[in-house]
Structure formats: structure tokens, C-alpha cells
């Protein structure tokens, strides 16, 4: 071989070898964000009436956190926080978003996927989005839908716009509705009835799943939805195939990007309503549709694990498994979720549930698995999903500017099992605000509704201040505010400081 060619090849190796080695050493990251899964819904968290072997496998060989929290007791704000590193209550319009909401995350914001992009990762989002799409008043379902996931840090996406019980009942791949027929344009309204499609309110005889409250507008696949939809017949999802479709997209993403470091945000729709598990999972739990949906969620996690194993990626992949908020049984449909509980307690030993400021609203399952790098453990470190951004930025040596992810703290040591200490404090949001510092929890006074009769959940609002000792009273049964007024004052002042300074980092 010509000597000059040999020298040239040696120079190339010197230049590119470090880059190749660095790329190979980066772990892939998968965040699996389940929907409405309660603290007591998994067998690795103590459930005995239902078994989740694939999720339990993550817990057995990884770290199971017992004091991990979403930032909010509903899906839109908690997902906003996870991706932005910012408490959603700081931004107007981040309540539970309608299906036609504008994008809630401003393009240019430093987001979790954007951090991974900067670090050389290929990023993808699959599953439930529910963070809005397009610009206010300019969303065209029949054209290019932008801005969306691709404008805030994802290289590709395959999403459902909002939730299964909201129109439009379609999938969106990157910027376009999947299988769109432009001769049958999609029209969506959340104010007035449109088109000639039957509604649950006017045509209850056409429903295969009756509504217990609301959910009685346009009927799609025999199920009444929130919102009106006309057109788009070729685009409509099939509810009982949704899990399979989303899992296949997640698997395809992993297979197609196995040669480079990737970040996958995988958000299954299970176990949110309407619960319509695939026929392969119907009856598997013995607890009706909700139990079968949990079984289906476990299957989905198992499929992700299986493809990683088959591609020999398991040892170089960090999996985070968690839930967007706490559990709810009857959330708008008569699906026997209550009647077929069979002694199961979705909230475990916690009080409240989805929508509640009590801990069952935001204390969620949280597992992290990184074979060979993380030792199996159970951790009581106080952690929040809002911290994933700063923590993974640290993992990849990415610096945050002062106004990036203002509430996200670097808890990487706790996530990797190198420390049993997480945050000093965190804030929970469910209509009102609560702050936890060590074992103390303070809930701000609120005159809002105390109890939701439709979901049968205590919301936790009270006109007087509440103070709970979570170490000795995890069920939040004994309000100690009058007994410890100085602790109430100190926590109220800390909460106010975090609110007024506009940051918690």
C-alpha cells in the first residue's frame, strides 16, 4: 500500500476514533411514560390481584423509587414539566388540553429531546402527546401540522394528538395525519356540533360503551368522545389496535436507529379511558377492561425489552418507566372498572388519585434500569420527573443556561443509585399547590371543590392550611397544621419564594 495512503488512514483514525468510541459509549435512553397508572397498580409496588412480570423485571434488576412524583395530578401539565424541566403552573394554558389546542411548548425552548440532540442523539416520540399542535387558530388537520414535536427537539414522531377520549381520533406521523384522504377533510370543533356524524348524546343506541358522564359528543368506533369531528374516515384509529400500533412504531424506531445513540419518549395510551384492550388481552386480568389494559401495558414494556435483547442493546440502554399521574377508575365510561376491582387498590396505601393534591395524585411508579451500571435497589430518595432534563443533561455533559429548565435539578446521582438523597423539596400541582420538604407536606388553603363525585376521588382542597407528616402518616389522615404552625409558616414561605422567583434551580 502506498505510504502516503497509510499515513492518511492513520490520521483519519486519530481524528475519528475518539468520536466513534464516544458515540458507542453513550447509553440509549428510553422513557416509558404510562397513562393514569397508580402507585399500587403494579406487582412490584405491592399489587397482588394483578401481575406485571415485564415491568417487575425492570424493577428487579434496576432501582425502584418509592418517593417519586410527577409534577401534576393530570396529564398535560405533568408531561409539559417532564419535557421542559419547568413546573406547568408557571405557564397559562397548561391545564388538561383540548384535542385542538395549540402547541404549549414554545419552539426554541430547551427541552429534554433538544438536550439529547445537542449530545448527538437521534430522538423520537411515540404515543400520546396531549401538549397541543400548531399555532393558535391556524391548525389545519388536512395539511402540514406545525409546530409540533419536531420543532421542540424530536427528529421524528408518531403520535396521537391528545387522548383516546378526545377528537381527533387520528395518528400523526411527523407533520401529517396518517392515511389522510384530502377528499374527505377533517374538521374539528370543541364548541359547536359539526357535520352529520351521530353523537353519544343524541344516539345512545349506537354506543358499544356507555358514558357515565360527558364523553357524549361525536361517536367514533361506537364510543362517544369529547369534541366533535367530521370527515377523515380513512384516518380513524381502531381503539383495540392502538397498543399494537404504538408498540410497533416504538420497536421500529429502535430497530432503525440501533447503530447510533437514540432517545425514545414512548407514551402508551394504556390505561387511560376509553379502555378497549386488544382481544389478545381481553379477560387476561380477571379485573375487567382496566385490569386488562394494565396487562396490555406490561405486554408493551415486554416487547420493548425483547427487541433490545434481540439487538444486543440491553446493556447499553437506560430505561425509565413511570406514569404521568395517579389512578382513576370511572373517568367517563361505564367499563366496570369499579365493579371488577376484586380487592385491588390502584393507589396502594396513598390517599386520593388522579386530579387530587393528596399524594396518590402525583406519587407514581418510577423505575430506572441500566444493566451492569445500576445495582438493584429500592430508593426512598425524593425525586420529580421535572428533574429528568437537568439530570440527563449532566449525564451527557450538556450545560444549561440560567433560564433553561428553571425547575429542573440534577439528581443524576440518585437516579444511578450512587446517592440515596434526591431533592430537598418538590411541588405538587392539582388545582392548588403543595410542597414536600423531607417528610413534611404542606397544602395551600383552597376553596375549590373538595370531592369529585363523578370520579369518586378526594381532591384534597380545604379552606384551611394542611400539614402532614408523610413518614408517620403516608395516608395523609392527620392534619398537623395547628400543632406545628411554625412548620406551616416555613413551608408556606418556601413555596411562595419558589413561585415569586420564577425558578427552583
CB atoms within 10 A of CB 10: 10
271 prior amide bond cis, ω within 30: yes
The yes-or-no verdict on residue 184 having pLDDT over 50 is yes
How big is the chain by its Cα radius of gyration, in Å?
A: 23
Q: For residue 107, is it left (φ>0), alpha (ψ between -120 and 50) or beta?
A: beta
Residue 2 lies in a domain: no
What's the confidence (pLDDT) of residue 8? 47
| Length of the chain (residues) | 505
- Percent of the chain clearing pLDDT 70 (strictly above): 95
Is 341 found in the same domain as 489? no
What's the confidence (pLDDT) of residue 3? 53
Is 415 found in the same domain as 299? yes
Residue 309 lies in a domain: yes
Domain that holds residue 480: 426-501
Residue 290 lies in a domain: yes
Instruction: Identify the CATH number of the domain in which residue 102 sits.
Output: 3.40.720.10
What's the confidence (pLDDT) of residue 483? 98
Q: Among 371, 398, 423, where does a domain finish? A: 423
Question: Alpha-carbon distance 371 to 374, whole Å?
Answer: 6
Residue 355 lies in a domain: yes
| 18 confidence band (pLDDT: 50, 70, 90) | very low
Q: Which residues pair with 157 in a beta bridge?
A: 125
Q: Among 408, 423, 438, where does a domain finish? A: 423
Cell of 74: 393530570
Q: How many domains does the chain have?
A: 3
Residue 7 lies in a domain: no
Is 484 found in the same domain as 389? no
Is 0.85 topped by the overall pTM? yes
- Matching residue, cell 395549540: 102
DSSP symbols for 389-411 = HHHHHHHTTPPPPTTSSTT----
User: Taking residues 277-297, what's their average pLDDT?
Assistant: 96
User: Taking residues 65-80, what's their average pLDDT?
Assistant: 98
Residue 450 lies in a domain: yes
Is 177 found in the same domain as 46? yes
End-to-end CA distance of the chain: 58
Is 161 found in the same domain as 111? yes
Q: Which residues pair with 269 in a beta bridge?
A: none
- Percent of the chain clearing pLDDT 90 (strictly above): 94
What's the confidence (pLDDT) of residue 11? 45
Is 240 found in the same domain as 159? yes
User: Taking residues 323-348, what's their average pLDDT?
Assistant: 97
Is 115 found in the same domain as 88? yes
What's the confidence (pLDDT) of residue 2? 54
Q: Among 407, 423, 439, where does a domain finish? A: 423
Cell of 258: 440501533
Residue 8 lies in a domain: no
User: Taking residues 63-85, what's their average pLDDT?
Assistant: 98
Q: Which residues pair with 430 in a beta bridge?
A: 432
Question: Alpha-carbon distance 469 to 440, whole Å?
Answer: 5
Is 182 found in the same domain as 329? yes
Cell of 89: 403552573
The yes-or-no verdict on residue 237 having pLDDT over 60 is yes
Cell of 450: 373538595
- The conformation of residue 240, written as its DSSP 8-state character, comes to G
CB atoms within 10 A of CB 286: 13
Question: Alpha-carbon distance 350 to 39, whole Å?
Answer: 8
Q: For residue 297, is it left (φ>0), alpha (ψ between -120 and 50) or beta?
A: alpha
Cell of 7: 499515513
Closest listed residue to residue 303, CA positions, set 350, 243, 258: 243
Judge contact between 434 and 443, C-beta under 8 A: yes
- Matching residue, cell 442523539: 121
**Residues 149-182: tens digit of each pLDDT:** 999 999 999 999 999 999 999 999 999 999 999 9
Question: Alpha-carbon distance 362 to 359, whole Å?
Answer: 6
Residue 359 lies in a domain: yes
Instruction: Identify the CATH number of the domain in which residue 464 sits.
Output: 3.30.1120.10
Closest listed residue to residue 495, CA positions, set 459, 430, 443, 422: 443
| 144 confidence band (pLDDT: 50, 70, 90) | very high
Is 125 found in the same domain as 139? yes
User: Taking residues 367-390, what's their average pLDDT?
Assistant: 97
Is 456 found in the same domain as 320? no
Is 267 found in the same domain as 129? yes
Is 287 found in the same domain as 216? no
Closest listed residue to residue 31, CA positions, set 428, 388, 408, 326: 388
Judge contact between 79 and 374, C-beta under 8 A: no
Amino acid at each position: 500500500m502506498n505510504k502516503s495512503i497509510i499515513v492518511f488512514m492513520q490520521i483519519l483514525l486519530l481524528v475519528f476514533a475518539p468520536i466513534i468510541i464516544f458515540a458507542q459509549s453513550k447509553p440509549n435512553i428510553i422513557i416509558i411514560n404510562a397513562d393514569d397508572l397508580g402507585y399500587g397498580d403494579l406487582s412490584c409496588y405491592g399489587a397482588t390481584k394483578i401481575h406485571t412480570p415485564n415491568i417487575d423485571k425492570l424493577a428487579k434488576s434496576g432501582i425502584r423509587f418509592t418517593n417519586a412524583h410527577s409534577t401534576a395530578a393530570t396529564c398535560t401539565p405533568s408531561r409539559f414539566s417532564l419535557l421542559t424541566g419547568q413546573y406547568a403552573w408557571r405557564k397559562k394554558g397548561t391545564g388538561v388540553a383540548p384535542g385542538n389546542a395549540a402547541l404549549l411548548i414554545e419552539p426554541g425552548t430547551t427541552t429534554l429531546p433538544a438536550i439529547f440532540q445537542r449530545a448527538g442523539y437521534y430522538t423520537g416520540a411515540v404515543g400520546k402527546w396531549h401538549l397541543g399542535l400548531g399555532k393558535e387558530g391556524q391548525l389545519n388537520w388536512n395539511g402540514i401540522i406545525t409546530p409540533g414535536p419536531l420543532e421542540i427537539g424530536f427528529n421524528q414522531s408518531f403520535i396521537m394528538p391528545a387522548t383516546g377520549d378526545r377528537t381527533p381520533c387520528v395518528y400523526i406521523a411527523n407533520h401529517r395525519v396518517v392515511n389522510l384522504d384530502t377528499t374527505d377533510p377533517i374538521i374539528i370543533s370543541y364548541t359547536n356540533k359539526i357535520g352529520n356524524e351521530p353523537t353519544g348524546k343524541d344516539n345512545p343506541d349506537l354506543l358499544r360503551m356507555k358514558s357515565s358522564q360527558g364523553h357524549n359528543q361525536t361517536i367514533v368506533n361506537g364510543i362517544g368522545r369529547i369534541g366533535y369531528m367530521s370527515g377523515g374516515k380513512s384516518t380513524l384509529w381502531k381503539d383495540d389496535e392502538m397498543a399494537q400500533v404504538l408498540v410497533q412504531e416504538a420497536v421500529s424506531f429502535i430497530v432503525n436507529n440501533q447503530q447510533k445513540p437514540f432517545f425514545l419518549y414512548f407514551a402508551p395510551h394504556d390505561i387511560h379511558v376509553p379502555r378497549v384492550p386488544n382481544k389478545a388481552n381481553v379477560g387476561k386480568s380477571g379485573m375487567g377492561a382496566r385490569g386488562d389494559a394494565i396487562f396490555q401495558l406490561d405486554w408493551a414494556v415486554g416487547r420493548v425489552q425483547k427487541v433490545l435483547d434481540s439487538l444486543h442493546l440491553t446493556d447499553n440502554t437506560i430505561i425509565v418507566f413511570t406514569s404521568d399521574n395517579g389512578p382513576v377508575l370511572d373517568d367517563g365510561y361505564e367499563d366496570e372498572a369499579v365493579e371488577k376491582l376484586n380487592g385491588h387498590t390502584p393507589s396502594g396505601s396513598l390517599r386520593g388519585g388522579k386530579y387530587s393534591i393528596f399524594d396518590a395524585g402525583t406519587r407514581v411508579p418510577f423505575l430506572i434500569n441500566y444493566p451492569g451500571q445500576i445495582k438493584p435497589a429500592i430508593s426512598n430518595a425524593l425525586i420529580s420527573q421535572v428533574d429528568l432534563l437537568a439530570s440527563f443533561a449532566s449525564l451527557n455533559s450538556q450545560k444549561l443556561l440560567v433560564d433553561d429548565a428553571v425547575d429542573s435539578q440534577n439528581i443524576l446521582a440518585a437516579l444511578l443509585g450512587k446517592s440515596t438523597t434526591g431533592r430537598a423539596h418538590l411541588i405538587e400541582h392539582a388545582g392548588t399547590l403543595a410542597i414536600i420538604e423531607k417528610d413534611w407536606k404542606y397544602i395551600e388553603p383552597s376553596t375549590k371543590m373538595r370531592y369529585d363525585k363523578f370520579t369518586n376521588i378526594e381532591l384534597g382542597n380545604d379552606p384551611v392550611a394542611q400539614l402532614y407528616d408523610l413518614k408517620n402518616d403516608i395516608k395523609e389522615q392527620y392534619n398537623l397544621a395547628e400543632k406545628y404552625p411554625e412548620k406551616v409558616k416555613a413551608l408556606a414561605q418556601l413555596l411562595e419564594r419558589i413561585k415569586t422567583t420564577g425558578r427552583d434551580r
